Amino acid sequence: MPGETIWFEVELKGDHPQDVGFQWSVDKGEIIKGQNTKRIVVRSPSGLDQTIKATMVVKGLAENCPATAAETAFVAIDPGPILLAEFSIKNGQINRKELDHLAIHLKENRNSYGYIIEYFVSKTSKRVIDRKIEMIRTYLKTKGIVANEFRVVISEYVQERTMVYAIPPGVNFPAP
């Protein structure tokens, strides 16, 4: 993940002097441990750079021996929550088309989680809120999505609004 550490290591094969040295460089990130050894630890960049290339030169080998090697590591990028839909619909109604889209996404991406934020105006009754949430749950169940595959949360807003997300593994839930 961006900002975490990754390591690179060299293995020398064949006959070679025991007192060789190692000079490492990286094109991104920062070497935080191991310079001049067989293994380095690199802090990956915290931005959106997706690769780190480490280059190593072995000092002290015979002139005819290859002395340089490079390797590239890929840094995982947190895609964040995936907004599948955002819409306004009256209380007492659900948007079946967008819930179908969520159900299809969850079936195609079995490790993802559904997350629905329902916004209600401040004086909406508990009965109306509970009814809408139950309608969503019941509808998704008819599409083969069970209760532990999604969550519905509520919040206040100046108008009724729904936001439908897919949450990939390891991604934080958006705040209402």
pLDDT tens sequence across 19-37: 899 999 999 999 999 999 9
Same domain, 68 and 86: no
Looking at the chain, the whole-number percentage of residues with pLDDT higher than 70 is 98
* pLDDT score, position 48: 56
Same domain, 128 and 106: yes
Task: Indicate the number of domains in the chain.
Answer: 2
* pLDDT score, position 74: 85
Band of pLDDT at residue 18, cut at 50, 70 and 90: confident
Band of pLDDT at residue 14, cut at 50, 70 and 90: confident
Q: Which residue has the higher pLDDT, 74 or 105?
A: 105
Q: How does DSSP assign 31-63, residue by residue?
A: EEE-TTSSEEEEEPPSSS--EEEEEEEEES--T
* pLDDT score, position 49: 56
- Residue 65's domain comprises 5-74
Rounded to an integer, what distance in angstroms lies between the CA atom of residue 161 and that of residue 116? Answer: 10
Residue 130 lies in a domain: yes
Q: Which residue has the higher pLDDT, 66 or 98?
A: 98
Q: Are strands 113-120 and 161-167 parallel, antiparallel or unpaired?
A: antiparallel
Residue 31 lies in a domain: yes
Residue 125 lies in a domain: yes
User: Which positions ≥6 away from 105 have C-beta within 8 Å?
Assistant: 82, 84, 112, 114, 166
User: Which positions ≥6 away from 107 have C-beta within 8 Å?
Assistant: 144, 145
Residue 129 lies in a domain: yes
Q: Which of 54, 74, 94 is the last residue of a domain?
A: 74
Residue 175 lies in a domain: no
* pLDDT score, position 95: 96
Same domain, 146 and 102: yes
Q: Which of 49, 74, 99 is the last residue of a domain?
A: 74
Same domain, 64 and 116: no
Over residues 7-21, mean pLDDT = 87
Q: Which of 74, 90, 116 is the last residue of a domain?
A: 74
pLDDT tens sequence across 41-87: 999 887 655 789 999 999 998 888 889 999 999 877 777 899 999 99
Same domain, 108 and 151: yes
Rounded to an integer, what distance in angstroms lies between the CA atom of residue 99 and that of residue 97? Answer: 6
